[in-house]
Amino acid sequence: MESLHDPEAKRALRRQLRRKRSILSRHEQRQAALNLCQQLKRLPEVQRARRISLYLPVNGEIDPTPLLPWFQKRNVDVYLPVLRPLSANSLWFVAYHAHTPMVKNRFGILEPDTRFAAHRRNRLPAWALDTLIVPLVGFDAQANRMGMGGGFYDRSLAFIRRGGPAPALIGVAHACQQVDTLPVEPWDVPLTAVASDRAVVRADKKKSRP
């Protein structure tokens, strides 16, 4: 079997896993999203968060946005990742609410308008967030994450590898995106846990909760 440290092998696995989630029906996607959100509501890292980042799904990604009314009732401030202007593959985290002006970025993903995001009062540095809910392409039983390959989260959260206070990182995916094992690269930022529509896998891998 080809090593997943090989770039071509990783690209092939990404294609395979993206295909798996893309063939899910609209009903399956909706049910998976609701199941995921029930898993997330039980996590202490989500329950205690007052400032949380999530994402708007594209290309079959599992949808965390059914959590938005629950966050609103709990007076949780919600932020979205925004491609940072004039910076290579890194992110801002920008306030998101009903009146946030939205535009499509170069990947066709809706995000808060750059002019809105540029005002410091509308964004937070990553270290000031309590919890980030992050998309992934693949994961394993040790909560290792395979992202899209652009390194946006790894660059934006590189400070976590240096130690000190840091937000909790919760990866989310469809259960069909789990694989036996993934390689860990030196630049990978470790997740706290991965939640799918079926279970939660903790990075300490002592147990997964159905």
Going by the annotation, the residues of the binding site are 10-14, 56, 61, 145-153
Alpha-carbon dihedral sign for residues 44, 46, 48, 52: positive
What's the CA gap between 85 and 96, in Å, rounded? 18
Residue 167 near residue 131 (C-beta atoms within 8 A): yes
Binding residues for substrate: 56, 61
Binding residues for ATP: 10-14, 145-153
Token pair in block for residue 1: 């079997």
Which of 125, 126, 98, 127 lies closest to 112, judged by CA?
98
Can you tell me which residue has the tokens 């934006």? 156
Can you tell me which residue has the tokens 């629950």? 70
